[in-house]
Structure 1
Amino acid sequence: MLPAAGASSAREWIRTAKSDSLDISWLKDKDSIDADSLPEPDVLAAEAMGELVQALSELDALMRELGASDEGRFAASVAGRSVWWVKE
């Protein structure tokens, strides 16, 4: 517990209660994410790629709805083909 108002100082509290340790690992937000519980990096990357592909698909649909020019469609086509994970 942190020092109450009227306590001598936060520094004194660190000295006595925390054995002079400035390790703040105990100070976590209740909503913070524990890195040890996260999926493997390749799983996170795959999820991110899936979200990006979905976003590109939605942008393509928007471009079509807006009547995008051939240049705009060409740019979208090139962007889609430049990444190996996007299926034609």
Structure 2
Amino acid sequence: MVTPGASFKVGGDVFILVDALSDHETVGNLRVELLVDGATLISAKYSPLSGYYGAIWDSSSERSGSIHTIIAKVTDSVGNTKSTLTTVSVR
């Protein structure tokens, strides 16, 4: 995960960027899903300008000081998956 980094303080719209590559997939053809606290599912879209998959999580309804785990799950066309996570707090 490129951003947000571990222990970042976030608020409002949180821009999430994921760097995902595969040895056997064309650039931009991976499925990247973001889970916030294991429930909120957001699909990340590939941007050829940045070279990253990105999405926005609206954290405005979250309580100030609350801590959340963001998981990026990457899946290729044959079903191989890899995940990474980060933890952030809402300001």
Could you tell me the TM-score, scaled by structure 2's length?
A: 0.18
Structure number having the greater strand percentage: 2
Query: Max radius of gyration: which structure?
Result: 1
Higher helix share: 1
Q: Which has the higher contact order (CA 8 A, sep 6+)?
A: 2
Question: What is the TM-score of this pair, normalised by structure 1?
Answer: 0.19
